[in-house]
A and B are shown apart, each in its own frame.
Chain A
Amino acid sequence: EAQVTQNPRYLITVTGKKLTVTCSQNMNHEYMSWYRQDPGLGLRQIYYSMNVEVTDKGDVPEGYKVSRKEKRNFPLILESPSPNQTSLYFCASRPGGVLLRGYTFGSGTRLTVV
């Protein structure tokens, strides 16, 4: 089944403790992206990747890191999480150059930083 897999689904952590949210897709998509969803703000892009080893900042990159060492994986790293990073996070992917097909999204990670 074609899908984007995110883990974990829920995560509670303490301020300053490094964490990684994993994302993997099995569709050979070139483009991957991370979004955070907050009430009243919709989804906002954190980072994106056009292909392996090519990443760039989105609209709200502060406090996050990403890497794209393999085409299928695009982990989101929070080096020192803070309470304002409490949010619902989505990983998404799409094939290169086919914008009409839209994105395939993971099932989301609910992160709480206390």
Chain B
Amino acid sequence: AQTVTQSQPEMSVQEAETVTLSCTYDTSESDYYLFWYKQPPSRQMILVIRQEAYKQQNATENRFSVNFQKAAKSFSLKISDSQLGDAAMYFCAYTTNAGGTSYGKLTFGQGTILTVHP
């Protein structure tokens, strides 16, 4: 079974600085996708960034970028120029194109609470 692990329950960063959130996953599949979701205090789940396993190039969305290390099964999120509005719980998630009950199912990590200090 696929698993996703976020080993940092909490992280903090100063406004305008850079922070990296860690995520590792375990899978035997070759065709899969990885996501980072943001959950602010409003509870809404917001898709931040996505990565296809087949793509070598790391995904980037404005101040958010990932470091995708396929061999190491690592998928970290880097937030540059941190802003107060980035404070939230961040979830790493995995899904696969493989058949069976795993198809399309999102498997989540435990979450990392990010605090941004002014």
Q: Do A and B come from the same complex? A: yes
Q: List residues of A whose CB falls within 8 A of some B CB.
A: 31, 33, 35, 40-45, 48, 56, 58, 88, 90, 92, 94, 99-100, 102-103, 105, 107-108, 110
Does B73 have its Cβ within 8 Å of any Cβ on chain A? no
Partner of B33, one of A90, A99, A107: A99
Decide if B105 touches A42 in the complex (CB within 8 Å). Answer: no
Interface of A is mostly: strand
Chain B residues lying within 8 Å of A110, measured Cβ to Cβ, are: 43
Decide if B110 touches A88 in the complex (CB within 8 Å). Answer: no
Chain A residues lying within 8 Å of B15, measured Cβ to Cβ, are: none
Q: Mark B89-113, 1 if CB is under 8 A from A, else 0.
A: 0010001110001001111111100
Interface size class of B (residues with CB under 8 A): 20 to 34
Separation of A42 and B44 alpha carbons in the complex (Å):
14
Does B75 have its Cβ within 8 Å of any Cβ on chain A? no
Separation of A34 and B9 alpha carbons in the complex (Å):
24
Chain A residues lying within 8 Å of B110, measured Cβ to Cβ, are: 40-42
Q: Nearest-CB distance from A67 to chain B (Å)?
A: 19
Q: What are 10 inter-chain pairs, A to B, with CB distance below 8 A? A: A33-B106, A42-B6, A42-B91, A45-B106, A99-B104, A100-B33, A100-B50, A102-B106, A103-B47, A110-B43
